[in-house]
Amino acid sequence: MGTLAALLGIALSAHIVSIDDYPLRRGCAPDEPVVAHLKRGDPVEIRFRLAGSGGGCYKVRVQSGEQVLEGYVSADALSDVEAFDEARRAAPLTSAPAIIRAEGSGVVQSAAAGGAQDLGARAAQLIQANRPREALELLERAVRSSPQDSGLLSLAGYAAYRADHPRLAVDYWEKALALRPSAAVRRMYEAAKRELEEDRSGQKLVGTRFALRYNSRRMKPETARRIVAMLEQEWSRIAMELGCRTEERIVAIVQTPEEYRRTTDAAEWSAGQYNGRIRVAASDQTRLDERTRKIFAHELVHACLAGLGEFPVWLHEGLAQKLSGERLGAYERGMVRRMAAQGQLPRLENLSQTWARMSTLHAKVAYSTALMAIELFLEEHPALGVRNLVHNPHLVVQMQNELDRRLQALQSAKR
């Protein structure tokens, strides 16, 4: 088992079901339908916590016999939830580019392999360049001419989703799935349906480069205007650092933490995602605080890099932390050094997949390693800088190998 897999195993084994024949429900309320009855000693992965009576309610993934189940249980059914709550308070706040973006790559490839290859490839290029509305217009015309082309329907759904039209995306994906089953399309279809059921952010405020969606019952218009102004300012700063631009308005969505997790099924430690749209969880929606600014800035870096090309996740996350103002604390630096000394530090080349499903401990290691790598890069190559790096992608693998050697050699070096 690799280091990261081992860490994930540690996180999972830290929690078990402590009451025999305990009901796993579809929601937190006591009248929610029962999915299954759990056995005492079943290992549990806690996905996130919702506030409530009796210490709260936890969404969990449970290995019960040969089955993997998901549902909700009360705190009194689990062992050592205090350790989970303490770990989540110290965990990162933002996630890597969401898993739905990875699924989108499968949809794009599927469409390009269909009957209208040239049109599909052109639409895919527009989507990847953060121009989904333009791609949607192109695809809508094509679908009218070829309504039985499942590849075009799948890609039209992806363009609609990226353009912030989830209802239209669901309609296109239903038609595509009726013509040809696809695991990637099915996952995106289910995610969009969940969003339609859970998202309450229907009010929209449009700026020069951003369209903000929010719940007017929770956020006042003046707070929304401040957020749009902040987005414009942060984008200008980040775009100057990295050399990116956007042809279309970027959609940003503000939700409560509970709505965010129900909509995205994100891990407990996550408070922000970018999947063509920025989605942020904000506990206090009466004001714009520094924590919320950092989360938005983090996701803006993802949006910027997505328009420049394909980059490994460690580079995305290291730069997103650095440019949003995050700093490694003494604990994180010590953790990285200790793991390097013990030969347990993950290599950057192994941090290349989506991080959205990581455990809290797993995420802490991955984020700290990525930020340490960026700091080492800036120390060693101040003249090159991050802008030149991301505009010369052939250098990324070279730098990745160099940084891996530097990280593995940290050992107990004081830094």
End-to-end CA distance of the chain: 30
Pairing of strands 57-64, 44-50: antiparallel
Q: What is the pTM of this model?
A: 0.71
Spatial separation of the C-alpha atoms in residues 361 and 408, rounded to whole Å: 20
Topology adopted by domain 99-198: 1.25.40
**pLDDT value of residue 6:** 33
- According to the model, what pLDDT value does residue 378 have? 94
Half-sphere exposure of 166 (CA within 13 A, CB side): 20
Which of the residues in the chain have pLDDT under 50?
1-13, 51-54, 89-105, 111-115, 412-415
Architecture of domain 3-89: Roll (2.30)
The secondary structure of 133-195 as a DSSP string is: HHHHHHHHHHHHH-TT-HHHHHHHHHHHHHTT-HHHHHHHHHHHHHHS--HHHHHHHHHHHHH
Match 């891996």 to its residue by tokens. 404
Nearest alpha carbon to residue 289 among 220, 208, 226, 202: 226
Q: What is the mean pLDDT of the chain?
A: 82
The whole-number pLDDT of residue 14 equals 53
Return residue ranges of the chain for CATH 3.40.30.160: 203-308
Residues 25-39 have pLDDT tens digits of: 987 778 888 989 988
Q: Tell which CATH architecture fits domain 203-308.
A: 3-Layer(aba) Sandwich (3.40)
